[in-house]
Structure 1
Amino acid sequence: MTSPHTDTTIAPTEREIRQVFIGLIIMLALGAIDQSIVATALPRIVSDLGGINHLSWVVTAYVLASTATMPLYGKLSDQYGRKPMVYVAVITFLLGSVLSGASRNLVELIVFRAVQGLGAGGLVPLAQIIIGDMLTPTRRGRWQGVIAAIFAICSVLGPLLGGVITDLLSWHWIFYINLPVGAVAMVMIGRALRQYTPLHARRIDYIGSVLMTVATVAFLLVLTLGGSTWSWFSTPLTGMALLALVCGVLFVHHVQHEPEPVLPLGLFHNRLFVIASSVMALTFMGLMGASLFFPLFFQLVMGASPARSGLLIGPLMMGMAASSLFNGRVLLRAGRYKPAQITGLAAATLAFAVLTWGAATSQSLVVIEPAILALGLGLGLVMPNMTIAVQNALAPIHRGVGTATLAFFRSLGGLVGVAGSGAILTWQLRAQGGAPGVMPLPGEGTAATLSNAASLAAPLYRHAIATTFLVGTCVIACAFLLILLMPEHPLRDHHHAPATAAD
């Protein structure tokens, strides 16, 4: 039965769209900045709380929790509406922020960062879903492009803001600052957003939710702990992998017999959705896997200072922001999204190949920086278009869970890329006799560990990092080949349900 408060026939006014969108931008900024703002404050956090051996979990706990909950937000928003789930996500995020800021030891901070991540898992997917509700596919390009641009810009600003806030106030305020900002976003969205989703009396799939969450978290723990905290063939890691496998199998069996599953298997009968999810996973696998070591490359191989290395990475996000905006305002006016995606992935593949060659042959910044910019420009044509393509291909009742699941595969691909590239880098260093242990990730290393790393010969790191760039090239090339097989449905200028054909 449709709720009396639901309005699916009256289009939102431009004023409503602007008010909601401003609130969504603020909500997105919270999620995007919080992924990177903590890295700058980690040395100060260790100084105050201790526990350097578990420092990486301050970031890992947040990422695990946010990634695992993305599909849940999508499905629950399909069942109970977008606005209630926005309240749940923002309030949970702000609660985690307050608790994180008040942490008295590192264990508390890790736990409260996980709470914060539980809320953050809904920020980006819900923003994309709400835009899909309010605007027809032909009008979404401009707004989805802005979302991608805001996310990219905030990712660059995060470390800078983290350093400024930590120096002027304290690291506690990188969490407390979220409170007034999040409150403003929630009020603006709550006042302007109407309920566009048909609400039906449906029960929550508790069993499916638990199985999916446990399987996802166990799998992510295998990726993040394997090869570092635990060896790849250790008993704890093997047990965690078996847990992920068993829960995954039970989840698939469960959703086949559940009338209202948390993740409908019908989504995977849609050829466009399957290819889109795979392309997004591969794209972020290559991007995150290689770009994670850009700071390491600039500092240890090219001799740049930490501050300058941060500036040298800026063209990647700036390129993504510029092409996302251009794509939304210009390219999508033709009603097609696939040509821009093909062009973007082709450019990204070529840029990665140039980076691989430049790193391996000791090229200067004259070669490296344009390649990083081209990589950002190419990827900016892929991500917002993929969200629009998926929303255009799915029935409105599955728009939420489909959009959130696409975001889930994007994050999952990024985590696989980070874990895989870290393993490749360590393997290369050990093979050449240059590194006895696992390298710290950027933002996680102390001055001592980075100093020890810098004492090794630059050519050793040059070769190892060039190998991660080569793997990134191959992964992005696979995404390019795969997108050639993706069907393209013309963008609709209405909200009616699309055809439900498998292709």
Structure 2
Amino acid sequence: MSAPTMDRVEQQSPMTHREIMEALSGLLLVLFVAMASSTIVSTALPKIIGDLNGSQTQYTWVVTATLLTATATTPIWGKLSDLYSKKLLVQLSIVLFVLGSLAAGFTQTTEQLIAARAFQGIGMGGVQALVQVAIATMIPPRERGRYNGYLGGVMALATVGGPLLGGLIVDTEALGWRWCFFIGAPFAVIALLVLQKTLHLPVIRRENVKVDYLGATLIAAGVSVILIWVSFVDGSFGWVSWQTFAMVGGGLALLGIATRVESRVAEPVVPLPIVRQRTTALAILGSLAVGMAMFGGSVFLGQYFQIGRGYSPTEAGLLMIPMMIGIMLSSTIAGKAMTKSGKIKPYVVAGTIILVIGFAGLSVLDHETPLWYIGSAMALVGVGVGMSMQNLVLAVQNTVSLKDIGAASSTVAFFRSLGGTIGVSVLGAVLARRVTDSINEQLTAMGVPAGGGSGTSSLNLSSLPESIQHVVRSAYGDATGHIFLISMGIAVIGVVAAVAMKPAKLRSTVDVTAPAKVPAATK
């Protein structure tokens, strides 16, 4: 048995609205930069992978690598924030993010780009988790709804504004796609300086504690093995093969060992008692669905507009504005309504239902679907994400004490990011298979050998004959609807989870107990 943990809480008076807004300015800026770096490549990737002569699988992994490392490190960042200075950890995550961004901008091959994006994801995971933790430390849940409107607006701008910015950069000859990675670095540095001056958070100093790096490593390894299997199954090897048994069995075994480790250590990165709580468990299920919506939507819609419909990167970004408007309006309106009523469940339920409807609309896409219809369905997806994404985290934060806010917040963020990682990986694999089969089928009907007799990537359209370009466009356009049909099915799980959540009033204090009782509780 380890020695009992001793806590020392550095007390400070509650922050005023002005102080909160000053600190939020830096937090929201770095959150925008981190999230935009994830979405900015969605419209730029066809050009990037085409220039680097990469494959559809590599296209998917440029996104998946970032999400995977962000997912794997999120619970570690969260647990560290419960043990050490939250401000210092935010600043450290920003530095790692900037270094990863610069490395990605200088890459020369798709393999190097995937590696750099994986490193960038470590910092991104810290930023996304710790911004949530910092806000939860500053603001009581009841008041957090109104501030979540700002958070939702920033996420909306990053989710869909990122692709537009990426399109503009790619289409600007003087810049080129490398600036999709360079452009975020100076803004992240500005956020770092702003936070140094404005962010002042209480520190809970604990003695005789250890971070469960073994559990975190096992979780990351287990998830990675399964995602690698998803990317290559049915292409490099069959569903029933020794590789499948080895990778799926090995991945599940690693996750099983990780669960056992987490149940035995004093300071687990994913605290099972919190995860087993009804609200947290259901929020996790809902977050998996929303994560798939947020990442899968921006990644594959950007590819659909460019490869399947022939629009430029800038035009593809503009066509995704309806999703941004939906997220921004719904998160702002729902946030203010929750602060006024103190209720959260009705908005989460409504959001997940609207999300399913939006996916149902996108599931019938082909290469000739009218743009007004696509925009309407995208707006519904945006409304669903805006009403549910942040509020699922808030529902969990409302149930735990301040000393566990980091672990609880990062656990939900972990599973949301995991949902995005699995979503992009699985949907990307499905898309790659359907596109390949469709292209080969059409080429065979034209009397052209499968593959077109060229080693050129199908994503490098400018290097393909015009007749082959038409085949590729129709294949991508018609296959995209199928992946959103899968997304709709998974989003239904989010509805079930939201409906099953217990109604709860948002508390009006930062901690579960009155501030005056905190010192006595920590003696």
TM-score by length of 2: 0.83
Correspondence 1:141-180 to 2 at 5 A: 141-165=145-169, 167-180=173-186
Residues 149 and 200 from structure 1, CA distance in 2 versus in 1: closer, same or farther, beyond 3 angstroms?
same
Aligned to 2:460: 446
Residues 209 and 481 from structure 1, CA distance in 2 versus in 1: closer, same or farther, beyond 3 angstroms?
closer
Aligned to 1:405: 411
Residues 444 and 252 from structure 1, CA distance in 2 versus in 1: closer, same or farther, beyond 3 angstroms?
farther
2:503 to 462, 481, 488: 488
Residues 363 and 38 from structure 1, CA distance in 2 versus in 1: closer, same or farther, beyond 3 angstroms?
closer
Distance 2:342 2:465 in 1: 49
Question: Structure 1: where are the runs of 5+ without partners?
Answer: 438-442
Distance 1:100 1:322 in 2: 33
Shift of 1:411: 1.8
Aligned to 2:32: 29
Correspondence 1:4-15 to 2 at 5 A: 6-7=10-11, 9-15=12-18
Alpha carbons 2:86, 2:134 under 8 Å: kept:
yes
Structure 2 residue identity aligned to 1:208: G
Shift of 1:296: 5.3
Distance 2:34 2:304 in 1: 27
Shift of 1:229: 5.6
Q: Please identify, of 463-472 and 481-490, the stretch whose mean Cα deviation from structure 2 is larger.
A: 463-472
Distance 1:298 1:316 in 2: 14
Aligned to 1:52: 54
Shift of 1:84: 2.2
Correspondence 1:262-277 to 2 at 5 A: 262-277=269-284
Correspondence 1:407-486 to 2 at 5 A: 407-425=413-431, 430=437, 433-434=441-442, 445-447=459-461, 448=463, 452=468, 454-455=470-471, 458=474, 464-486=479-501
Structure 2 residue identity aligned to 1:396: L
Distance 2:110 2:414 in 1: 28
Aligned to 2:99: 95
Partner-residue secondary structure (3-state), 2:320:
helix
Alpha carbons 1:29, 1:151 under 8 Å: kept:
yes
Q: Deviations over 1:249-306 (max 9, x none)?
A: 1111112221122221111221000001101112333565566543455567666565
Aligned to 2:320: 313
Distance 1:466 1:83 in 2: 43
Aligned to 2:116: 112
Distance 1:270 1:224 in 2: 33
1:375 is the counterpart of 2:381 = yes
Residues 449 and 72 from structure 1, CA distance in 2 versus in 1: closer, same or farther, beyond 3 angstroms?
farther
Distance 2:113 2:478 in 1: 37
Residues 331 and 279 from structure 1, CA distance in 2 versus in 1: closer, same or farther, beyond 3 angstroms?
same
Shift of 1:486: 0.7
Identical columns (%) = 31
Distance 2:111 2:479 in 1: 34
Correspondence 1:209-358 to 2 at 5 A: 209-228=216-235, 231-233=238-240, 235-236=242-243, 238-285=245-292, 288-289=295-296, 292-295=299-302, 297-298=304-305, 307-356=314-363
Distance 2:219 2:63 in 1: 22
Shift of 1:122: 0.9
Alpha carbons 1:129, 1:400 under 8 Å: kept:
yes
Structure 1 residue identity aligned to 2:217: V
Structure 1 residue identity aligned to 2:139: L
1:19 to 10, 19, 22: 22
Q: Deviations over 1:317-369 (max 9, x none)?
A: 22111111111123431101111112222222233334445x48976344332
Structure 2 residue identity aligned to 1:397: K
Residues 129 and 434 from structure 1, CA distance in 2 versus in 1: closer, same or farther, beyond 3 angstroms?
farther
Distance 1:258 1:419 in 2: 31
Alpha carbons 2:167, 2:313 under 8 Å: kept:
no
Residues 295 and 213 from structure 1, CA distance in 2 versus in 1: closer, same or farther, beyond 3 angstroms?
closer
Partner-residue secondary structure (3-state), 1:200:
strand
Shift of 1:470: 2.9
Distance 2:142 2:62 in 1: 41
Distance 2:100 2:238 in 1: 32
Aligned to 1:440: none
Alpha carbons 1:276, 1:483 under 8 Å: kept:
yes
TM-score by length of 1: 0.86
Distance 2:305 2:189 in 1: 39
Distance 1:91 1:334 in 2: 39
Shift of 1:130: 0.7
Q: Please identify, of 159-168 and 208-217, the stretch whose mean Cα deviation from structure 2 is larger.
A: 159-168
Question: Structure 2: where are the runs of 5+ without partners?
Answer: 1-5, 444-449, 452-456, 515-523
Distance 2:188 2:130 in 1: 15
Aligned to 1:128: 132
Alpha carbons 2:286, 2:494 under 8 Å: kept:
yes
Distance 2:312 2:108 in 1: 32
Shift of 1:11: 0.5
Q: Please identify, of 145-154 and 174-183, the stretch whose mean Cα deviation from structure 2 is larger.
A: 174-183
Distance 2:92 2:303 in 1: 38
Distance 2:95 2:348 in 1: 36
Distance 1:315 1:450 in 2: 34
> RMSD of aligned C-alpha atoms?
3.3
Q: Please identify, of 291-300 and 256-265, the stretch whose mean Cα deviation from structure 2 is larger.
A: 291-300
Residues 417 and 62 from structure 1, CA distance in 2 versus in 1: closer, same or farther, beyond 3 angstroms?
closer
Structure 2 residue identity aligned to 1:326: I
Alpha carbons 2:167, 2:314 under 8 Å: kept:
no
Q: Please identify, of 10-19 and 163-172, the stretch whose mean Cα deviation from structure 2 is larger.
A: 163-172
Structure 2 residue identity aligned to 1:479: G
Q: Deviations over 1:89-110 (max 9, x none)?
A: 1111122223333445554443
Alpha carbons 2:66, 2:118 under 8 Å: kept:
yes
Distance 1:189 1:327 in 2: 28
Alpha carbons 1:301, 1:461 under 8 Å: kept:
yes
